[in-house]
Structure 1
Amino acid sequence: MKKPDREKRTKQTKRANGLKWLVITALLAGVIIGGISLLNKGASAIKLKHIHGLGYSPDGAKLIVPAHDGIRIYDNGSWSVPPGDQNDYMGFSAVDDGFYSSGHPGQGSSLSNPLGIIKSNDTGKTISVLALEEESDFHGMSVGYKTHIIYAFNAAPNSKMSSPGLFYSKDEGQTWAKSESFGVEGEPAALAVHPEKENVIALGTQTGVFLSDDYGQRFEKIVPDLQVTALYFNLQGNLLVGGYVQSPVLQLVDTKSKAISTFPIPELDDDAIAYIAQNPVMPNEFTFATAQRDIYITRDDGVSWLKIANQGKALDGQ
């Protein structure tokens, strides 16, 4: 290999490795992209700092952005702030009748700290506390869209989980069972639950995508040689995978045939996909957010993209 080529390849490798550990560390800490602070009215006043997920309202009309200081909404080309406490939402999952989350209460909230596991059916206006309040804050959590089964990475023992690890609950957090996670290689950086099959779960690590059909007891690697940064089950039961191979990629994985296809995405310079969401009413529409706080939306399965946030600044669109 010629010296210039070798030097170029070395620089690319260092850049990829640097981004890998930046993304994985931030994902595991639950702070890859974060909250939104509202300074005054209008999209130009909304700054995205610590986004903790993405989701759509059940009617598909609103994109929900859970954040460090409350929920923010993108609806018909405009950003807004819904009523309700400005809580720090972590482990956010949109479902067919609202959302589940964890995190910490916002300023002036009467909720316990940490929140444990909570649910809202009205975009955060009112909150139902389900379990583990004042005990646990789950950064890594995912909930089945229709089944409402909860999977969560537990960091330390609590009153319902005797050890750290991956656990699941079929009764809104009242009782839990441990997922042994045999077959997983590397540290989990992303978690997703099938929308209709409560026993099917996927994990992403720096080595690829792993799929389980027995509540996370055993996993099979279905996507090798991919540094995974985001996972999402679409409503058809297939996986949308954000990853990194020399550059950011967005893949669709058929969970039955294991066939992999790739979506064209905008160029992401020194960036990676962090969260993905699909519109439950218009399946050709989905959105992703990046580590550098950009948000893109497509309504034609990735043929074209609209940027609705740029490096943390919310943008009006159509």
Structure 2
Amino acid sequence: MRPFTFFTLFLGLALAQTPLGPVPTRDVHALLWHPSGALLLGHHDGIVAWNNSTPQDLVRRRDWDAMNLAWGGERLIAAGHWILAESRDLKRFRDLRPKGLPALDLHAYAIDPRKPEVHYTLEATYGYFRSRDGGQTWAKLPARGLPKAGMAFFLVDQKGRLWASLMERGLFLSEDGGESFRPIPSPDPAPGPLVLSPSGTLYLGGKLGLWQRTEAGWRRIWQGAVLALAAHPQEEGLLAWVDGRGTLWRGR
């Protein structure tokens, strides 16, 4: 392919990435593409649904900090600073009363897509935990090889492997349900949110951009800080993210 043609195609891809507008909150901690088509933004004071460019509050409570949003097939889990709640209709949120978690300062949360009863979380003070009954009871994970972290992002892929993105500490992978982890080379010095496309392609947001994992390694597909990231649950390669200035983007 001639260099000019390649540049033209690359520019076309860049132009296909469209800013949807500034997020209507003072911050965004989590982003999730709900099966209904709505983008859900977890922030310091609740959850906003962004549908057809119209934001709507699902939850608006002072310091109801939805740092993590996870979809378990039939229900949405919101976890963060002193909250762990579920909703099946995006209208009513019910606080969960988990056993085995010594505190509820939850800085990462993920659900196994193959086994939605298996949940993982990072409690800021007490470390890593796993639930085998949908978040009702929890047990401490050894998480051997995984450094202590204040902020992290979890993802369970289609093979049941647990990915951990530890901001300034790097990327890690567990193939035994969180019992042990090994480091994975990261393309970004400050890796952040992780998502999977419907086919299983892994995407990573970080300080330097938006990255796609390929057979040849990581490929940057957008440049700029990515604070939150979501993948469409049905449309392959369709992503949404929030940049460092608080703008919501959508693109392929």
Does TM, scored on the shorter chain, surpass 0.5? yes
Task: Give deviations 1:231-265, integer Å, cap 9, x for gaps.
Answer: 22333334211234xxx1222225xx6x4232421
Q: Which residue matches 2:142?
A: 180
* From 163, 184, 204, the counterpart of 1:222: 184
Q: Which residue matches 1:253?
A: 213
**Aligned ranges 1:141-180 → 2 under 5 Å:** 141-148=109-116, 149-156=118-125, 164-180=126-142
Would you say the 8 A contact 1:58–1:96 is kept in 2? no
Task: Give deviations 1:70-97, integer Å, cap 9, x for gaps.
Answer: 2212212332334x56443232223432
Larger radius of gyration: 1
Tell me whether 1:66 sits opposite 2:42 in the alignment: yes
The 2-side partners of 1:98 and 1:76 are apart by 22
Matched residue type, 2:192: T
Q: TM-score, normalised by structure 1?
A: 0.61
Task: Give deviations 1:118-149, integer Å, cap 9, x for gaps.
Answer: 111112x1123332499523122222345332
The 2-side partners of 1:171 and 1:279 are apart by 27
The 2-side partners of 1:261 and 1:135 are apart by 36
Would you say the 8 A contact 1:252–1:261 is kept in 2? yes
**Aligned ranges 1:19-98 → 2 under 5 Å:** 47-59=24-36, 61-82=37-58, 86=61, 87-98=64-75
Matched residue type, 1:250: L
The 2-side partners of 1:99 and 1:71 are apart by 11
Q: Which residue matches 1:233?
A: 196
Q: SS at the partner of 1:139? A: strand
Q: SS at the partner of 2:29? A: coil
Matched residue type, 1:96: G
Matched residue type, 2:173: L
Q: 1:186 Cα shift? A: 7.2
Aligned residues: 225
The 1-side partners of 2:248 and 2:86 are apart by 25
The 1-side partners of 2:227 and 2:112 are apart by 19
Q: TM-score, normalised by structure 2?
A: 0.76
The 2-side partners of 1:220 and 1:141 are apart by 19
Q: Which residue matches 1:264?
A: 221
Unaligned runs of 5+ in 1: 1-42, 105-113, 157-163, 302-318
Would you say the 8 A contact 1:52–1:66 is kept in 2? yes
Q: Percent identity?
A: 23
Q: SS at the partner of 2:25? A: strand
The 2-side partners of 1:146 and 1:69 are apart by 31
The 2-side partners of 1:225 and 1:283 are apart by 22
